[in-house]
């Protein structure tokens, strides 16, 4: 079902500071930046490695406001791992399969994710307390 760990999402107070930390300490390269108004974050994707199923990344997330999901996460827990994202071939199909097993899918339909991916989230209470994201990478042949 899963192709790879697509990314680990890390909530942070200062995106630029964390980019410097991960770039200098781990020699990771920023491959994408965007502001996702729908999710209430500024983000940067830092490339770790490529494998048979695609790339793996660290996603740094800075909230656009204190009342966004990441802003609330930071207020409750402080900086750190926010979610784990798994790469899948077809996010819609995977949502259906996992939902049929009794896991709540937080998204009714896939939504826009980083680097033009299609994503959906699973309820943390149904998967051991971990916010889990499903990621279908963008088709490289499409713009």
Q: What is the pLDDT of residue 141?
A: 56
Helix (H, G, I), strand (E, B) or coil at 23: helix
Q: Where on the phi/psi map is residue 62: left (φ > 0), alpha (ψ -120 to 50), or beta?
A: beta
Average pLDDT, the chain: 95
Q: Please say if the pLDDT value at position 79 is more than 80.
A: yes
Distance CA 97, CA 89 (A): 13
Residues 84-133: tens digit of each pLDDT: 999 999 999 999 999 999 999 999 999 999 999 999 999 999 999 999 99
Distance CA 108, CA 97 (A): 13
Q: Which residues are catalytic?
A: 7, 43, 59, 83, 133
R_g (Cα) of the chain, nearest Å? 15
Q: What is the pLDDT of residue 143?
A: 43
Q: Where on the phi/psi map is residue 129: left (φ > 0), alpha (ψ -120 to 50), or beta?
A: left
Which distant-in-sequence residues (6+ apart) come within 8 Å of 60 by Cβ?
10, 12, 15, 18, 19, 22, 43, 44, 46
> 92: which 2 tokens?
């819609």
Q: How far apart are the first and last CA of the chain?
A: 26
């Amino acid at each position: 079902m899963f192709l790879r760990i697509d990314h680990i999402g890390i909530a942070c107070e200062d995106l630029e500071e964390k980019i410097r930390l991960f770039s200098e300490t781990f020699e990771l390269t920023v491959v994408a930046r965007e502001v996702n108004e729908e999710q209430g974050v500024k983000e940067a994707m830092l490339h770790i490695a490529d494998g048979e199923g695609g790339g793996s990344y660290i996603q740094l997330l800075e909230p656009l406001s204190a009342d966004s999901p990441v802003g609330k996460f930071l207020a409750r827990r402080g900086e750190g791992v926010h979610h784990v994202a798994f790469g899948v071939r077809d996010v819609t199909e995977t949502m259906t399969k996992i939902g049929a097993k009794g896991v709540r899918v937080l998204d009714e339909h896939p939504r826009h994710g980083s680097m033009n991916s299609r994503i959906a989230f699973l309820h943390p209470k149904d998967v051991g307390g971990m916010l889990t994201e499903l990621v279908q990478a963008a088709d490289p042949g499409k713009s």
